[in-house]
Amino acid sequence: MERRSETFYVTTPIYYLNGPPHFAHAYTSVAADAFARFNRIDGKTVHFLTGTDEHGQKVAQAARAAGEPPQEYCDRASAKFREMSGLVNLSNDDFIRTTDERHIRASRALWDAIAANGDIYREEFSGWYAVADEAFYDESELIGGKAPTGADVILLREENYFFRLSRWQDRLLEFYAANPDFIQPISRANEIKSFVRSGLRDLSISRTSVKWGIPVPGDQQHTIYVWLDALTNYLTGAGYPDTSSEIWRKFWPANLHIIGKDILRFHCIYWPAFLMSAGIEPPKCVYAHGWWTVEGAKMSKSANNFVPPAELVEKYGVDAVRYFMLRELPFGADGDLSCRALVTRVNAELANDLGNLAYRVLTIVARRCGGRLPKEANLSVDDRLLLTKATDMIELVRSHMHRYAPHRALEAIWAVVGACNQYISLQAPWTLDASQASRLGTVLYVAADALRHVGVALQPFVPATAAELLDQLAVPDTERTLEVLMNKKLGSDQPLPAPRVLFRKLDTDDPIDIRDSD
Ligand code: MSP
């Protein structure tokens, strides 16, 4: 059995099936994927889970509107999200559906564990419910008769099972204090703590009026509240309720739940309270990223301002889209999506800075060194400076990824790309003639090794482009890890494949206008 510190379990939110995937869903998934891939190249055994949230009123309504039985509707709608995972090149190890038998079992087991702790009771409920958010609101939270999110609310009166959330208020505050990294970024932690301090009410966790859900153990009249059902997916993905299984012992508690900021309360208050009640250790970290907006408005189906990821990927290519997502927006902040910004950034950074650099270096190797990577000899100060910068970059990338700052990690990688471009301009290998073959070899070797560092570090972000770069440098598949980078030199004298353009420039004249999309 591997030691706990050598494993990393990361999740995306599971997506509601009330519509097709949109850009922001792809964003959450790509961010989680970057963390999964980073931890793999950093030597961890990773478990990466994504999937779909299929029960509840919102999905039942969508099925009704489509004129389909809910299960058939979900099969079809879930397949679209599975397709999206492939489209944006997710490296997920599992794809969970809340209609999976294994998940139904896990949800009922979690319910039983919470009930066994005396935290569930039955009472008449009367209050406000927003189907769009699948959330209850206090009267005091309503703004102009609507939920704070702007969603319509309905007055609900039915007998429900309740979770004694109020009993967990102090324990939650103690938990946050003992685990300062649990809620990230820190601004979100403050928001959650003050909400908890202001007092927690017990939470309704079953419905009699919603049939499309998991029946409450021992009471077929009720279905489990969709958020309790949905959150449990993270346990199901780690083998729960089989807590003696290898997967459970290796991966629970999860290291990282990536979510959007609109679902913080569920993940940072309800989730740890449910888990503590059931005697299960809460996850290590919940990270809430910001919102993508289009001209200032949140991108959503209802605002009709979203782009299907397929359209973007088809037009610009998967790595262009991934690079833009991870580089453009400081992780955690909100930002505006503009295809013009995407094209400009990708052409400047991926095509020019990196693509041209690799092509320049590799074509000289092909022409002047018989297509074999030359050896280095007598390193100059400039050579050493570039190599040190490339090695130091690895530690920088690691620390930025540990601080959930993929945009900074990319910045650090681009600092090396920039330094390498400067190095090549300064060393001007094209001016070195046959009498300077040894110096020519050294310059090309040093540049190629800097590019190897860049290629390895780029794998979490633009996996296909990184793989192409490493293939062109003939770096074996088994040597594309941070550890190998720190301990093994780039092999010289091996034949390299004929250089290919790494990244084609995107067409600047014809960006997708997001406002025109449906
Ligand atoms: N089903 C719940 C999650 C359950 S997790 C146990 C849900 N689904 S969702 O499909 O509505 O949203 C999934 C994710 O997409 C959320 O993290 C949400 O924040 C994110 N986004 C949806 N629109 C968004 C933007 N415009 N910008 C960034 N992310 C946003 O919530």
Show the DSSP H helices in 42-69 as ranges.
57-66
Residue nearest to atom 18 of ligand 1 (CA): 260
Q: Please check whether residue 473 is in contact with residue 373, taking contact to mean a CB–CB distance below 8 angstroms.
A: yes
Residue 159 has pLDDT above 90, yes or no: yes
Residue 3 has pLDDT above 90, yes or no: no
Residue 313 has pLDDT above 90, yes or no: yes
Q: Cβ–Cβ contacts within 10 Å for residue 323, how many?
A: 25
Can you give the pLDDT at residue 4? Answer: 46
- Residue 503 beta carbon below 6 angstroms from any ligand 1 atom: no
Q: Which of 298, 235, 411 is nearest to 27 (CA)?
A: 298
Residue 518 has pLDDT above 70, yes or no: no
Can you give the pLDDT at residue 59? Answer: 97
- Residue 320 beta carbon below 6 angstroms from any ligand 1 atom: no
Q: Please check whether residue 322 is in contact with residue 28, taking contact to mean a CB–CB distance below 8 angstroms.
A: no
Can you give the pLDDT at residue 274? Answer: 98
Give the DSSP letter of residue 100.
S
pLDDT in tens, 53-87: 999 999 999 999 999 999 999 999 999 999 999 99
CA of 78 to the centre of ligand 1 (A): 15
Q: Which residue has the tokens 């060393």?
A: 427
CA distance 467 to 34: 15
98-135 burial, b at 16+ Cβ within 10 Å, e below that, comes to bbbeebbebbbbbbebbbeeebbeeeebebbbbbbbbb
Q: Which residues of 225-361 form beta strands (DSSP E)?
A: 256-260, 286-289, 292-294, 297-298, 335-336
Can you give the pLDDT at residue 306? Answer: 75
CA distance 207 to 125: 10
- Residue 22 beta carbon below 6 angstroms from any ligand 1 atom: no
**Residue 517's pLDDT band (boundaries 50, 70, 90)?**
very low
CA of 293 to the centre of ligand 1 (A): 13
Q: Cβ–Cβ contacts within 10 Å for residue 478, how many?
A: 7
Q: Please check whether residue 255 is in contact with residue 10, taking contact to mean a CB–CB distance below 8 angstroms.
A: yes
- C-alpha atoms less than 13 angstroms from C-alpha of 58 in its C-beta half-sphere: 20
Q: Cβ–Cβ contacts within 10 Å for residue 44, how many?
A: 17
**Residue 294's pLDDT band (boundaries 50, 70, 90)?**
confident
CA distance 449 to 390: 8
Can you give the pLDDT at residue 509? Answer: 67
Higher per-residue confidence, 304 vs 440: 440
CA distance 251 to 501: 40
Report the DSSP beta bridge partners of residue 204.
162
Q: Which residue has the tokens 């997708």?
A: 512
Task: State the chain's mean pLDDT as an integer.
Answer: 94
Residue 299 has pLDDT above 80, yes or no: no
Residue 174 has pLDDT above 80, yes or no: yes
pTM of the model: 0.95
SS3 content of the chain, % helix, strand, coil (to 5): 50, 15, 30
CA of 263 to the centre of ligand 1 (A): 7
CA distance 70 to 74: 6
Q: Cβ–Cβ contacts within 10 Å for residue 361, how many?
A: 25
Can you give the pLDDT at residue 298? Answer: 76
pLDDT in tens, 90-119: 999 999 999 999 999 999 999 999 999 999
Q: Please check whether residue 149 is in contact with residue 132, taking contact to mean a CB–CB distance below 8 angstroms.
A: yes
CA distance 443 to 373: 11
Can you give the pLDDT at residue 296? Answer: 73
- Residue 263 beta carbon below 6 angstroms from any ligand 1 atom: yes
Report the DSSP beta bridge partners of residue 130.
135
Region 164-170: mean pLDDT is 98
Give Cα 22 distance to the centre of its chain: 14
* Lowest-pLDDT range of 107-116, 153-162, 405-414: 153-162
Q: Please check whether residue 131 is in contact with residue 151, taking contact to mean a CB–CB distance below 8 angstroms.
A: yes
Give the DSSP letter of residue 50.
E
Q: Which of 350, 457, 462 is nearest to 396 (CA)?
A: 457
Please give the structure tokens belonging to residue 6.
Answer: 């050598």
Farthest-apart Cα atoms in the chain, separation: 91
Show the DSSP H helices in 329-435 as ranges.
339-345, 357-368, 381-402, 406-427
- Residue 14 beta carbon below 6 angstroms from any ligand 1 atom: yes
CA distance 312 to 20: 14
Going from the C-alpha of 166 to that of each of 102, 123, 225, 289, 458, the distances in angstroms are 30, 15, 18, 28, 46
pLDDT in tens, 186-224: 999 999 999 999 999 999 999 999 999 999 999 999 999
CA distance 126 to 469: 60
Can you give the pLDDT at residue 5? Answer: 64
Can you give the pLDDT at residue 493? Answer: 87
Residue 52 has pLDDT above 90, yes or no: yes
Residue 327 has pLDDT above 60, yes or no: yes
User: How many residues would you count in the chain?
Assistant: 518
- Residue 28 beta carbon below 6 angstroms from any ligand 1 atom: yes
CA of 88 to the centre of ligand 1 (A): 17
Residue 262, class by beta-carbon neighbours within 10 Å (0-12 exposed, 13-18 middle, 19+ buried)?
Answer: middle
Residue 2 has pLDDT above 60, yes or no: no
- Residue 299 beta carbon below 6 angstroms from any ligand 1 atom: yes
Region 491-503: mean pLDDT is 92
- Residue 13 beta carbon below 6 angstroms from any ligand 1 atom: yes
* Lowest-pLDDT range of 140-149, 174-183, 509-518: 509-518
Going from the C-alpha of 186 to that of each of 181, 191, 233, 285, the distances in angstroms are 8, 9, 25, 11
Can you give the pLDDT at residue 332? Answer: 95
Give the DSSP letter of residue 269.
I
